[in-house]
């Protein structure tokens, strides 16, 4: 299977973002990609007013357009994430898997809220967004696990996806430049290695108002932790062939997943970690 990660510099200009996304999705499909992943908040990345203005429901114009691309091109499209407008003026950071017939076959809402202070900026996603639940979905004969950006810092989630049968995890992202420069490659490769699966991580690049500066470096890593492709600092796509037979060999010769001992694992009493 050939997979592609699309890298964008999305801003508050929704029409322009969708136009560039379509161009790069088409280019990736022309390169032979069967699975194409868009980044986090590919339709709009901006201040709260821009996010509200660009929010839509699952039958909205951007996802409808994305379904048309998938159907026309005959690809599986992970439509990154959008700002989904839900009830009571609340939102979700929502990723949709669209199959080659243009059907929405899975919907994942980001579980872990990016409530952090980094690079002199305070991020509080939980102020406006609600979390979702764990999602895996069939990708032809292969099981796909779905995550979004900050989720990669939570190995519990990635392990559960693997235990549920995921052989590929897609990770639409908008990693900040300070965290990305320090942690992005390490985290993506670690999740691939420890779960012996492919990570297809599509990121945002560049600046967007009011304070966003994204790291980019969209990448694809294999079950051995080898980086198969990494994007330069521009809007583009990167692609790689995912060798599923090699994945079976890795899992067979170094059977870390099979050697787990869940019967002896016990979670400690819940405590508040403040530092």
What tokens were used for 205? 């690049």
* Bridge pairing between strands 136-139 and 121-124: unpaired
What average pLDDT score do residues 207-235 get? 96
- Indicate which residue of 14, 56, 149, 235 is catalytic: 149
With respect to residue 263, please indicate whether it lies within any of the assigned structural domains: no
Residue 77 lies in a domain: yes
pLDDT at 78: 98
212 found inside a domain: yes
Active-site choice (34, 40, 56, 235): 40
The answer to whether residue 267 sits within a structural domain is no
On the question of pLDDT at 89 being above 90, the answer is: no
Per DSSP, the three-state class of 87 is: helix
CA distances 216 to 56, 141, 237, Å, are 25, 30, 11
The pLDDT value given to residue 209:
87
The reply to whether the predicted model has a pTM over 0.75 is yes
Q: What is the dihedral of CA 104, 60, 11, 2, to 10 degrees?
A: 20
Residue 162 placed within a domain? yes
234 tagged catalytic: no
Q: Which of 84, 110, 129, 235 is catalytic?
A: 110
- Domains of the chain: total: 1
Give Cβ neighbours of residue 15 (< 8 Å, ≥ 6 apart).
none
CATH value at residue 40: 3.60.110.10
Computed from CA positions of residues 28, 80, 174, 179, in that sequence, does the dihedral angle turn out positive or negative?
negative
Give the domain extent around 197: 2-257
**Which pLDDT band, with edges at 50, 70 and 90, does 48 fall under?**
confident
Q: What is the pLDDT of residues 102-119, one digit of tens each?
A: 999 999 999 999 999 998
**Residue 266 resides in a domain:** no
Q: Give the Cα separation of 187 and 249 in Å (integer).
A: 23
**For position 167, what pLDDT does the model report?**
98
Percentage above 70 pLDDT, the chain: 99
Is 149 among the catalytic positions?
yes
Residue 269 lies in a domain: no
210 located within any domain? yes
- Please state the rounded mean pLDDT for residues 180-184: 97
Average pLDDT, the chain: 95
Active-site annotation holds for 156: no
Alpha helices in the chain (DSSP H): 14-30, 48-54, 61-73, 155-163, 177-179, 185-195, 244-253
């Amino acid at each position: 299977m050939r997979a592609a990660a699309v890298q964008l510099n999305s801003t508050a200009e929704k029409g322009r973002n969708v136009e560039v996304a379509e161009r790069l999705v088409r280019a990736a499909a022309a390169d032979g990609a069967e699975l194409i992943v868009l980044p986090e908040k590919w339709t709009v990345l901006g201040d709260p007013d821009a996010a509200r203005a660009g929010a839509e429901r699952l039958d909205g114009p951007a996802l409808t357009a994305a379904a048309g691309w998938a159907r026309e091109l005959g690809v599986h499209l992970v439509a990154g994430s959008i700002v989904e407008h839900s009830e009571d003026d609340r939102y979700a950071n929502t990723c949709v898997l669209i199959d080659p017939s243009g059907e929405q076959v899975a919907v994942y809402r980001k579980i872990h809220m990016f409530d952090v202070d980094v690079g002199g900026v305070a991020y509080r996603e939980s102020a406006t967004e609600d979390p979702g639940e764990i999602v895996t979905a069939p990708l032809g004969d292969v099981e796909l696990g779905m995550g979004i950006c900050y989720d990669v810092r939570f190995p519990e989630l990635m392990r559960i996806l693997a235990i549920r049968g995921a052989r590929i995890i897609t990770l639409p992202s908008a990693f900040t430049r300070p965290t990305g420069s320090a942690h992005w490659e390490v985290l993506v490769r670690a999740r691939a290695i420890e779960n012996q699966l492919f990570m297809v991580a599509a990121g945002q690049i560049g600046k967007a108002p009011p304070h966003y500066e994204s790291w980019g470096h969209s990448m694809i890593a294999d079950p051995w932790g080898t980086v198969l492709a990494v994007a330069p600092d521009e809007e583009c796509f990167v692609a790689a062939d995912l060798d599923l037979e090699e994945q079976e060999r890795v899992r067979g010769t170094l059977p870390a997943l099979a050697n787990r001992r869940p019967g002896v694992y016990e979670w400690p009493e819940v405590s508040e970690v403040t530092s």
